[in-house]
A and B are shown apart, each in its own frame.
Chain A
Amino acid sequence: DSGVTQTPKHLITATGQRVTLRCSPRSGDLSVYWYQQSLDQGLQFLIQYYNGEERAKGNILERFSAQQFPDLHSELNLSSLELGDSALYFCASSVGQVTDTQYFGPGTRLTVL
């Protein structure tokens, strides 16, 4: 158990819909990272927040957005969902810097039908 929690574990929805994925970092960690993992693309970095502020952006689509709240939990919002958005979404947390060890949550499996 990494100490990072993610909800829900599984999500099945239809194209065009909007979903919210939630992540609670390990106690004491200030950074939260979101990754998308699909079979053909591997582990793709989406976005990082540090203490409530966006720190780095990766290959995040405009239809996706995220935020980190004062209690440091984070939410990833995916809208206008497409079939290709079906993937495993991981949240990870670290103490602060990108060079710190990242602890991954169990992931949310999103299926778009």
Chain B
Amino acid sequence: GQQVMQIPQYQHVQEGEDFTTYCNSSTTLSNIQWYKQRPGGHPVFLIQLVKSGEVKKQKRLTFQFGEAKKNSSLHITATQTTDVGTYFCAGSGGSNYKLTFGKGTLLTVNP
């Protein structure tokens, strides 16, 4: 079955440093979504990418979808304490109706 792997599992940074999390799928994806879950909260949708090589930006967050549509990344520039949380990628592919989540990257930021 489809597997989505995410690295790193944990990342601790100093406020102001950059952060990147990577997502890799065992199969070609039709789309990939990114979610953020604050400590004690629920996952909240950030963005969806559907096109090969697509790059989208949301303020300090940059999302990329690989050319082969099997990998994706989320990059945060100049992290802030409000960025703390777990970032999940989730992908679906072809006729697969399931959205498969990666295990997430827990980001902690030292002020």
Contacts and interface: CB of A to CB of B under 8 A. Distances in A.
Contact of A90 (B30, B42, B102, B103): B42
Contacts of B30: 99
A107 interface: yes
A99 B98 contact: no
A108 B33 CA distance: 23
Interface string B4-41: 00000000000000000000000000110101000001
A101 B92 CA distance: 12
B63 interface: no
Contacts of A103: 45
Chain A interface SS verdict (over half):
strand
Given A42-B104, A45-B100, A48-B98, A102 B92 contact: no
A33 B101 CA distance: 13
Contact of A43 (B31, B44, B101): B101
B92 A45 contact: no
Interface in B48-104: 48, 50, 88, 92, 96-104
Contacts of A43: 43, 88, 101, 103-104
A14 B57 CA distance: 47
Contacts of B44: 2, 104
A102 B103 contact: no
A45 B48 CA distance: 18
Interface of B: 30-31, 33, 35, 41-45, 48, 50, 88, 92, 96-104
26 contacts: A2-B44, A42-B102, A42-B103, A42-B104, A43-B43, A43-B88, A43-B101, A44-B101, A45-B99, A48-B97, A56-B96, A56-B97, A56-B98, A58-B98, A98-B97, A98-B98, A98-B99, A99-B48, A99-B92, A101-B33, A102-B33, A102-B99, A103-B45, A104-B35, A106-B41, A107-B42
Interface of A: 2, 33, 35, 41-45, 48, 55-56, 58, 90, 92, 98-99, 101-107
